[in-house]
Amino acid sequence: MKKDLGVKPFLFPMPVLMIATYGDNDKVDVMNMAWGGICDNNKVALNITETHKTAENIKKRGAFTISVADVAHLEESDFFGTASGNTMEDKFERTNMHATKSTRVDAPVIEEYPITLECKVAKIQNDEFGFRVIGEIENVLADENVLDENGKVDPTKLNAFVFDQFQNGYYKIGEKVGQAWSSGMKYMNK
């Protein structure tokens, strides 16, 4: 029997997205965000509270990067979601992580994260449903150690983790349990 839990944002898994932007004087800011994802073959959607430093930076610079958080940098990633760039000027520096300027967009690439999407702002929506940024993916960067022999990203090598909105936990992912567009094919011939 199912129990009614009311209105909650209970989807699982939720990606842990690391949104990096430049602020004034090329100051690196990174935000941990779960409410975003792919919305087209070359686009991402981010749902951000407009008062975040990241939202301000995106409006000013028209660009951002999204990195996949990995277990090796879980503590830094969690910190980026706890500390505010509006009140902590040395937020990025406290982690001892490193950033380089993207060659494609006006945003930083955080060196320690294994995969990064370089994005330019395609559209900003600000209405009764909130502040939403649609970004166009200009390029994807990946560390060679997360690629397979064919040059494709191997999810088992990412050591990515996801956010659990039920109990506010993080969970490591990586075990392959099936093949998309193949595992359920037995039902096609019924």
Name residues whose C-beta falls within 8 Å of residue 16's C-beta, 6 or more positions apart in sequence.
32, 33, 34, 68, 69, 77, 160, 161, 162, 163, 170
Structure tokens that stand for 15 in this block: 């990606």
pLDDT tens digits along 92-108: 999 999 999 999 999 99
Q: What is the pLDDT of residue 176?
A: 83
pLDDT tens digits along 149-187: 999 999 999 999 999 999 999 999 978 889 999 999 988
| Dist. CA 33–CA 84, nearest whole Å | 12
| Dist. CA 165–CA 89, nearest whole Å | 28
Q: What is the pLDDT of residue 177?
A: 87
Predicted TM-score (pTM) of the model is: 0.94
All structural domains of the chain, each given as residue ranges with its CATH number in brackets, are: 14-189 (2.30.110.10)
Half-sphere exposure in the Cβ direction for 39 (13 Å, CA) = 15
Whether the Cβ atoms of residue 110 and residue 30 lie closer than 8 Å to each other: yes
pLDDT tens digits along 119-129: 999 999 999 99
